[in-house]
């Protein structure tokens, strides 16, 4: 063991004795017991401030220096645009897969229409079970990645399901056909013969 390694071991042992004598680690700002971020340069390998205090400090700094923060962000983006774009694409794809899998049958990345085995993420979309997607968009609901992020951040609310693009169109055609036949049956007094939407039993989330 080299001299440097011996000194390092002594320091670690001294810190362990100090930590055992002083009790659990506490935030030097608010006094809470953490959780803390890992910091190899700090004694004990943890940050002196807890995660909540550090987040608050960062938020306060961004609010006070918003223009400067945005300027540095744009400079980093233009310095390595391909790297940032790759990260953004990967992040959005990961969120899309997470949401579509949750609203798919049995938590799988698959179309919820009965008998459909489409699993290609590029062919799958989010569908409003109650056919109220148009009203939701008029009310300000987002679409695309922003919708996936909203659903995930809201705890995956009910009323949505995963459908492939073909069955999105099929569902709308069946809905319009049922409305048309119901109108004709009301005029003629005969019951509509159109079938119901062929969705999986677990697609009512």
pLDDT for position 109: 95
pLDDT for position 200: 57
Is the pLDDT score of 60 beyond 90?
yes
pTM for the whole structure: 0.59
pLDDT for position 136: 82
Sketch the domain layout of the chain as residue ranges: 81-168
User: Per-residue confidence at 104, pLDDT binned at 50, 70, 90?
Assistant: very high
The answer to whether 75 and 84 are in contact (CB under 8 A) is no
pLDDT digit string, tens, across residues 143-173 = 888 999 999 989 999 999 999 999 999 999 9
pLDDT digit string, tens, across residues 65-90 = 999 999 998 898 888 888 888 988 99
**Radius of gyration for the chain, computed over Cα atoms and rounded to the nearest angstrom:** 28
The mean pLDDT of 94-118, rounded to a whole number, is: 93
Is the pLDDT score of 23 beyond 80?
no
User: Per-residue confidence at 131, pLDDT binned at 50, 70, 90?
Assistant: confident
């Amino acid at each position: 063991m080299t001299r440097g390694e011996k000194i390092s071991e002594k320091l670690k042992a001294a810190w362990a004795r100090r930590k055992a004598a002083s009790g659990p680690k506490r935030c030097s700002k608010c006094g809470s017991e953490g959780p803390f971020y890992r910091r190899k340069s700090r004694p004990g390998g943890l940050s002196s401030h807890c995660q909540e205090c550090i987040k608050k400090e960062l938020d306060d700094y961004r609010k006070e220096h918003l223009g400067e923060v945005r300027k540095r962000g744009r400079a980093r983006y233009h310095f390595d645009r391909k790297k940032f774009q790759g990260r953004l694409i990967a992040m959005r794809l990961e969120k899309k897969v997470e949401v579509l899998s949750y609203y798919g049958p049995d938590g799988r990345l698959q179309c919820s229409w009965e008998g459909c085995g489409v699993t290609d993420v590029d062919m799958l979309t989010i569908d409003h079970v109650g056919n109220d997607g148009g009203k939701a968009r008029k009310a300000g609901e987002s679409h695309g990645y922003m919708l996936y992020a909203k659903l995930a951040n809201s705890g995956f609310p009910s009323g949505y399901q995963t459908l492939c693009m073909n069955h999105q169109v099929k569902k709308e055609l069946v809905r319009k056909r049922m409305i048309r036949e119901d109108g004709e049956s009301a005029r003629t007094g005969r019951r509509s013969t159109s079938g119901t939407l062929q969705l999986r039993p677990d697609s009512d989330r």
